[in-house]
């Protein structure tokens, strides 16, 4: 964050900050937001006039954005109509299973993801399989997805 803010330099007054979190409970997200807020304030700028939130309605981030007069708050749209439909996330927690999610992506998304069934009826069947190595990527990967 410090490197990015230093790169932005004197155009901070023309820079929009975007905070994305389902809840704002994540330490890394909160810390990044606080670093950005401090940079804006040190530049003599009201942080709320330069920031928007993307979050779930009623979350701590949602409340923070309203209380601190942020520019706007946008909803996080969960793929699958908010019910996880047609999505699968696979995050193996053993390094030697790292290729497992890639195998499932090939199997499920290409081999099983079909528009027509065996009887040629339209079914638009298929799952989106998302995956990475759980032991190192679970939080950042899932946070990115949502």
pLDDT digits (tens, 9 = 90+) for 116-126: 666 777 766 66
* Model confidence band, residue 52 (pLDDT cutoffs 50, 70, 90): very high
What is the pLDDT averaged over residues 68-72? Answer: 96
pLDDT per residue over 91-104, tens digit each? 787 778 878 888 88
Domains belonging to the chain, first-starting first, are: 2-75 (3.40.50.10490), 80-145 (no CATH)
pTM score: 0.59
Which is more confident, 103 or 19?
Answer: 19
Q: What is the DSSP string of the chain?
A: -HHHHHHHGGGGGG--EEEE-SSS--HHHHHHHHHHHHHHHHTT--GGGGEEEEE-TTSHHHHHHHHTT-SEEEEPPPTIIIIITTEEEE--SSGGGTTHHHHHIIIIIIIS--SB-TTS-B-----EEEE--HHHHHHHHHHHH-
Confidence category of residue 136, pLDDT binned at 50, 70, 90: low
pLDDT at residue 92, rounded to an integer: 80
């Amino acid at each position: 964050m410090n490197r990015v803010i230093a790169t932005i330099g004197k155009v901070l007054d023309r820079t929009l900050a975007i905070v994305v979190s389902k809840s704002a409970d994540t330490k890394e997200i909160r810390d990044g937001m606080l670093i950005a807020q401090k940079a804006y304030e040190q530049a003599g700028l009201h942080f709320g006039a330069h920031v928007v939130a993307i979050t779930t309605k009623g979350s701590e981030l949602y409340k923070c954005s309203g209380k601190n007069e942020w520019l706007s708050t946008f909803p996080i749209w969960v793929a699958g109509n908010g019910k996880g439909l047609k999505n699968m996330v696979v995050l193996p927690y053993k390094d030697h299973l790292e290729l497992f999610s890639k195998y499932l992506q090939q199997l499920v998304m290409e081999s099983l993801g079909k528009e027509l069934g065996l009887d040629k009826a339209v079914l638009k069947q298929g799952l989106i399989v998302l995956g990475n190595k759980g032991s190192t990527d679970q939080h950042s990967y899932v946070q990115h997805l949502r």
